[in-house]
A and B are shown apart, each in its own frame.
Chain A
């Protein structure tokens, strides 16, 4: 299916947020996730089903002011 990940169009096979992270190489990386602007807790990623047109955000720690 076709979704957007961090603002970029992305063709993916994953059905859940958890498997998306694996598919895109985020495994064991420290990240937080949101699906269509709603926060998804790490422990809920396996139940977060993806659909065509979804927007996923995958964020990591960064310098900030």
Chain B
């Protein structure tokens, strides 16, 4: 693929970012990363008991995949928690990339956009390259850019819901307003058709986890999403036709047989 995706200091061929959680086994995760041809995977930090090697073996698997890591601040509920978690992640994963999540609602896992902007400002000033998980709100997007973010990641629907795009108008408006900012749809996609749909809108990439990891066959689903993302991107570049309310014959009407009214 000749067309590249630029995210901060990285230039990528793949427009599919993949989460690493909730796979049936580490082996299936490794195969799914390969099948998705992803170049960026998300990871997190969690409490671990002394003497456990679980985290280390997972980290080894990710390193062997060759993918770049995007650590998250999943589960953080305040800007302070998110900033501290990001600082810890930078040391462990040796990257200044951070997927910034500040959760504001237990039921929808909707981001607390006020805490998000605050944390984004602090982290950007500390040299982090912030990937904020946000709603599709135009004003929040503007504030995040002011805070130093150079990539935005609006949700399609609540995390893990698999609903697809909840607010098509909102995602369209965001794309139209920030046409030169890399936009990644993060969260809520359930099927490859959802991924293709947002790529057709002109989104630069998608970030998935549950839709792949909880599929009946995660490896096959990873491949299906990779194809959908590529198809959606190609369709966007090819400029889809404008939908119409009424039919328009595709075969020329002129010269139609049995047309007694023709001159």
Bound state CA distance, A26 and B48, in angstroms? 9
Smallest CB–CB gap between A39 and chain B, Å? 4
CB neighbours of B115 from chain A (8 A) = none
Closest to A34 in B: B84
- Known interface pairs A29-B52, A63-B58, A64-B19; A6-B88 also in contact (CB < 8 Å): no
Q: Mark A1-12, 1 if CB is under 8 A from B, else 0.
A: 000001100000
| Interface class of chain B by DSSP | mixed
The docked-state distance in angstroms from the alpha carbon of A39 to that of B46 is: 14
Across-interface contacts of A59 in B (CB, < 8 A): 45-48, 85, 88, 92
**A30 to chain B: which residues have CB within 8 Å?**
55-56, 59, 92
List CB contacts (< 8 Å) of B35-62 with chain A: 42-56, 58-59, 62
Q: Mark A49-65, 1 if CB is under 8 A from B, else 0.
A: 00000000111111111
A64-B81 CB under 8 A given contacts A30-B59, A32-B89, A59-B46? no
Interface string of B163-198 (1 = CB under 8 A from A): 000000000000000000000000000000000000
* Chain A residues near B56 (CB-CB < 8 A): 29-30, 60-61
Q: Are B20 and A65 in contact (CB under 8 A)?
A: yes
- Measured in the bound complex, the distance between the Cα atoms of B209 and A58 in whole Å is 25
For A, the interface residue count at a CB cutoff of 8 angstroms equals 26
| Contact A63 B22, CB 8 Å, known A30-B55, A30-B56, A30-B92 | yes
Q: Which residues of A contact B49 (CB under 8 A)?
A: 6, 25
Give the interface size class of chain B: 35 or more
Contact of B84 among A38, A42, A60 (CB under 8 A): A38
**Which among B20, B23, B87 is the interface contact of A39 at CB below 8 angstroms?**
B87
B74 near A64 with CB under 8 A, answer yes
Instruction: Provide the residues of chain B in CB contact with A39, threshold 8 Å.
Output: 84, 87-88, 91
Q: Are B46 and A62 in contact (CB under 8 A)?
A: yes
- A62–B43 CB distance below 8 A: yes
B residues apposed to A, CB below 8 Å: 19-23, 29, 42-56, 58-59, 62, 71-72, 74, 80-81, 84-85, 87-89, 91-93, 159-160, 209-210
- Other A-B contacts than A61-B62, A64-B72, 16 sampled, CB-CB below 8 A, are A30-B55, A30-B92, A32-B88, A39-B87, A59-B47, A60-B52, A60-B56, A61-B93, A62-B46, A62-B54, A62-B58, A63-B19, A63-B21, A64-B43, A64-B44, A65-B42
